Structure 1
Amino acid sequence: MADKVDKLLRNYFGGTLDKQIKAREMYLQFHNDIDENVGGGRAQNKYNNAVESQMITLERDYELSQLKHQKMVVELWLTDIGDDEYDILQMHYGDRETWVNISMTLNRSVTALQNWKREFKKSVGHYVDL
């Protein structure tokens, strides 16, 4: 059974993680909290700073910050790997290729590919809160 780091990598290489970030930003942008205060008084020093309020909402949102953090961690670990290793991850998580097809394409053993993937997952998993 796949674990949470597998799901994160599948979302990253499949393009779903970027869509989740964009969808959350759009939700926060158009989600308006309606003030239910029906008191008789009027605020004297109330300013309407829509842009600042929107930026604060985006920065304070826990789910959005977690998604961005996860993407940043994956991209950070991807900068230090070679082209073959990136191809392994892209073929496995993005293209959903079998290990046999990947090993035949890259001319490596299935065991070596799986061991490398396991080490990569372990290194990413240490820095991602899932």
Structure 2
Amino acid sequence: MADKIDRFFIDYFSGKLSKLLNLRKMELQAKAVDDNVNASKSTTLTRGAEFQLIREQGDSETAFIAKELQYMDVFLSTLSSEQQELLTLRYDRRNRLTWSEVAYRFCKSERQCIRQVRDMKDEFEECYWSQMVGNTGAQLEKTNGVMAG
């Protein structure tokens, strides 16, 4: 379970989930353009935005990724700024910091940082992960498969 949460944190803090959501919205927008090829210009302009919004709200993949982002945002709002920074430094793969580098930035030992992150992961698992998996376990596995690839 901890590996899945680690993977989720990496995807969130590295911006991968946001990119997946934007990519999915772009895919839906491209489908909307394809669907409106034979429509008149006035119909396309007035209904295009409405159909796009309906398409995004009705898409299960878009809704799932948005829900994941929402759960994470709520979780982060419960943490102190130092805890948020600790998670960001550890899980943002654009920076690739080791535990010793993270610990150095906080003037703490590696063990302290590891313990704090473990406690935050446990809290996330207890409060949020079970809801995410419970509501859409199959979708989570599908999304994690896409993210891992």
TM-score by shorter chain over 0.5: yes
The 8 Å contact of residues 100 and 110 in structure 1, kept in 2 or not, is answered as: yes
Match of 1:83 among 75, 81, 84: 81
RMSD: 2.3
Q: Which has the larger radius of gyration?
A: 1
Residues 109-120 of structure 1: pairs in structure 2 closer than 5 A: 109-120=109-120
Instruction: Tell me which residue corresponds to 2:18.
Output: 18
Percent sequence identity is 25
Could you list the per-position Cα deviations for residues 30-78 of structure 1 after superposition, in whole angstroms to 9, with x for gaps in the alignment?
A: 12576xxxxxxxxxxxxx9443332221111111111101111111111
Give 1:80's aligned amino acid.
T
Higher-helix-fraction structure:
2
The 8 Å contact of residues 103 and 113 in structure 1, kept in 2 or not, is answered as: yes
Instruction: Tell me which residue corresponds to 2:72.
Output: 74
The 8 Å contact of residues 73 and 127 in structure 1, kept in 2 or not, is answered as: no
Runs of 4+ in structure 1 deviating by more than 4 angstroms, as ranges, are none
Aligned pairs, number: 117
Instruction: Tell me which residue corresponds to 2:121.
Output: 121
SS in 2 for 1:96: coil
Match of 2:52 among 51, 54, 61: 54
SS in 1 for 2:132: coil
SS in 1 for 2:96: coil
The 8 Å contact of residues 25 and 64 in structure 1, kept in 2 or not, is answered as: yes
SS in 2 for 1:31: helix
Higher relative contact order (CA 8 A, sep 6+): 1
Using the alignment, how far apart are the partners of 2:114 and 2:60 within structure 1?
33
TM-score by length of 2: 0.67
